[in-house]
Amino acid sequence: MTLLRLILTNTQRHCIRTLIGVAGIAFGVAAMMTVVTLLQGAVNMFQRILKDDSEIIVFERHVSDLFFSNVAISDIEIMGTWPMVEQVLPSLFGLVSSEDRPVIACFGVTADSPRLKGAEWIEGNLSDFGQSRDIVLGSRAAEFLGVKLGDSAPLGHDSFPVGGIIRTENGFEDGGVFMPLAQAQEFFHKNGVASIASVSLFDDDLREAFIAKVKEGFPDLTALETEEFGNSYSQFRIIEATAWAVGGSAFLLGGLSVANTMIMSVFGRIREIAILRVNGFSPTQIASLIFGESSVITFFGVALGIGVGFGTMLVLQRVPLFQGYVDTQLHGSVLGVVVALAFVTGIGGALYPALYAMRIHPAEALRFE
Amino acid sequence: MNTCNSIKPIIEFCNLWKSFDHDRIQVLRGASLSLEAKETVALVGASGCGKSTLLHLIAGLDEPDQGVVYIEGKALNKCRELTYRLRHQIGFVFQLHNLIPNLTLRENCLIPAVAAGTNRKQAKARLERLAEATGIADRLHHRIQDLSGGERQRTALCRALMNGPQIILADEPTGSLDDVSRVRVFELLLKLMREEGITMIMATHDLDLGRRCDRVIRVQRGTLFDETSDHQPSL
């Protein structure tokens, strides 16, 4: 007979009540895991688009979104002449729509874009890109637009001949449209500008020097290392904060369910707790009992929640609409935070019941019950 | 039999007052008592006269409005001391067994040992001896719901004795039992108290059983009268 045995016995006594507590925590864990992983996956996917290109990104200072950024092609050309720079590639980001798809990512790029070079060409050739008005579609975009090589793809108020179809691992790219840069500039009424310039340097040690030179030469532009960009870009931060807030709210519900379970559990055995006290249990041991019970509930809730979370992500991954957008790679740090939050929630939920149980006056409990 | 200032008794209190409901119900009005080690005392009186209240005050579960209870000459000051007292000095037996359902007899009996953090081997050996003495050795792995009232009460007694207390406070321990079980449980209680050299205060309605204790104390109008010494107040 140990304290653990007593804890397990108590949790088994009212199975439904315990299961409700377990379900509450499981819901919180599964919700946070899924939401955070999916949104972080989306952010990572977008970050990878930028990372694949370069080490440094140059964009317009003080813009809330890269879609609104304007970097003059003439400025990009000047940067390309700097001795430390190996390559500068302009990219124009825009959104187009078709009949059934209100939002399709559009990339205005040059033929030497690593996005096109690194992709698997299902139809068409990279060498033809930029030679005409032809656009290249990601395989998913071709699928949902219902077009193949040589067809005309209706986008916005215009339609474009399809000159190639590529497959990439990135959901944004695979569901997107690639236009020659000049054509994209014309389509989005952004002549002479790009959204960003992706810069590769001859030597990594020159990064700081490049950033300083941009700051000095182009006060309207900002140069950031891609890692730094990911950490500072407000849209990413908003998405991540939203994910954690949604997950946190789910945990709050989980915590309330544990609190409710534990309160019911304590209120239902006031006399029993008084008897334990009379048999030598200290108030601290009584509290340990309550916290122990909530920890057991949390443990099973976490286990169930992780299972449900993984299951949900696997299901989402197989839903055609989400294919390519769902990154089910759960990071250890996210799992760690989720598990830690679950236990904090579980323990937090048991705080009041434990305090109540500690303060049960044995004589009164024995007298009135 | 005044002992307030004489040799150190195991339990002693003088002029103990206790009321409930903002002094509207006066239960104890200057109760005094002194008990020497190994004495067995029956506390008799009508329902609501304050027998249980007195037991709670002696155990330290409740605080008197006035007066102090001394156990082995020490008053209770802190919560930690109450835990020590309940863990090592005092065992409680109630009218209802108050055993924890879903646990076996063995597990119920071991609760005080868990509370005190007693070594497993020692606790097991003690339990085996007590289970033999209380006649529940062959039922240790049964659950509470499988036992008779007498067996449950013997289990409660076994639990109360688990940590080797010097004092047993029994609050009508035979009150919920039939005539045969009542006598058996009481005889067992008395036998164990004498064998183990434990001081016992037992609240009871049954004067016949009470007379078999060393002393009979009547609780009346909030005061204690020692019936074994010509109805004088026990102080």
- Does B133 contact A at CB distance below 8 Å? no
- Does B86 contact A at CB distance below 8 Å? yes
Residues of A with Cβ-Cβ distance to B52 under 8 angstroms:
366-367
- A94 and A106 Cβ atoms separated by less than 8 Å: yes
Q: Which of A1, A280, A283 sits opposite B107 (nearest CB)?
A: A1
Residues of B with Cβ-Cβ distance to A275 under 8 angstroms:
98, 100
- Return the number of other C-beta atoms located less than 10 Å from residue A20's C-beta: 16
Distance from the Cα of residue A315 to its chain's centroid: 17
Residue A14, pLDDT > 90, answer no
Q: Which two tokens mark A277?
A: 């006290």
Residue A19, pLDDT > 80, answer yes
pLDDT digits (tens, 9 = 90+) for A186-207: 999 999 999 999 998 988 888 8
Distance CA B13, CA B58 (A): 8
DSSP state of A320: G
ipTM of the complex: 0.88
CB contact under 8 A, B111 and A9: no
Non-local CB neighbours of A54 within 8 Å, separated by 6+ positions: A87, A89, A198, A199, A200, A226
Report in angstroms the alpha-carbon separations of B1 from B15, B50, B71, B171: 15, 22, 18, 25
Confidence of residue A11 (pLDDT cuts 50, 70, 90): confident
| pTM, to two decimals | 0.76
Measure in Å the smallest separation between the Cα of A361 and chain B Cα atoms: 8
CB contact under 8 A, B115 and A285: yes
Q: Which two tokens mark A129?
A: 């890109």
Residue ranges for chain B with pLDDT beneath 70: 1-7, 229-235
Q: What is the mean pLDDT of residues A243-253?
A: 85
Report in angstroms the alpha-carbon separations of A288 from A2, A297, A311, A353, B115: 12, 14, 34, 11, 11
Where is pLDDT greater, at A2 or B113?
B113
Q: Which helix (H) or strand (E) holds A263?
A: helix A234-267
Measure in Å the smallest separation between the Cα of A289 and chain B Cα atoms: 11
Q: What SS3 state is found at A201?
A: strand
Per cent of chain A over pLDDT 90 is 40
- Return the number of other C-beta atoms located less than 10 Å from residue A231's C-beta: 11
pLDDT of B3 reads 44
Q: Where are the alpha helices (DSSP H) in chain B?
A: 51-59, 79-84, 105-109, 111-116, 120-134, 149-161, 179-196, 207-210
- B112 and A280 Cβ atoms separated by less than 8 Å: yes
First and final C-alpha spacing in chain B: 6
- A163 and A125 Cβ atoms separated by less than 8 Å: no
- Does B113 contact A at CB distance below 8 Å? yes
Portion 48-67 of B in contact with A at CB < 8 A: 52-53, 56, 59, 61-62
Q: Which two tokens mark B167?
A: 């004092």
pLDDT of A70 reads 93
The amino acid present at B77, given as its one-letter code, is: N
Q: Which helix (H) or strand (E) holds A35?
A: helix A15-53
- Does B83 contact A at CB distance below 8 Å? yes
pLDDT digits (tens, 9 = 90+) for A142-190: 988 889 898 999 888 888 999 999 998 787 888 899 999 999 999 999 9
Q: What is the mean pLDDT of residues A318-324?
A: 67
CB contact under 8 A, A2 and B163: no
Residues of B with Cβ-Cβ distance to A367 under 8 angstroms:
52, 56
Q: What is the mean pLDDT of residues A337-359?
A: 91
Distance CA B31, CA B14 (A): 6
Q: What is the mean pLDDT of residues A39-59?
A: 76
Distance CA A321, CA A324 (A): 9
pLDDT of A327 reads 66
Query: Phi/psi class of residue A138: alpha, beta or left (left: φ > 0; alpha: ψ in -120 to 50)?
Result: beta
Residue A328, pLDDT > 70, answer no
Nearest CA in chain B to A2: B114
- Does B85 contact A at CB distance below 8 Å? no
User: Which of A156, A160, A113, A112 is closest to A137 using CA atoms?
Assistant: A160
Residues of B with Cβ-Cβ distance to A281 under 8 angstroms:
83, 111, 115
Residues of A with Cβ-Cβ distance to B163 under 8 angstroms:
280
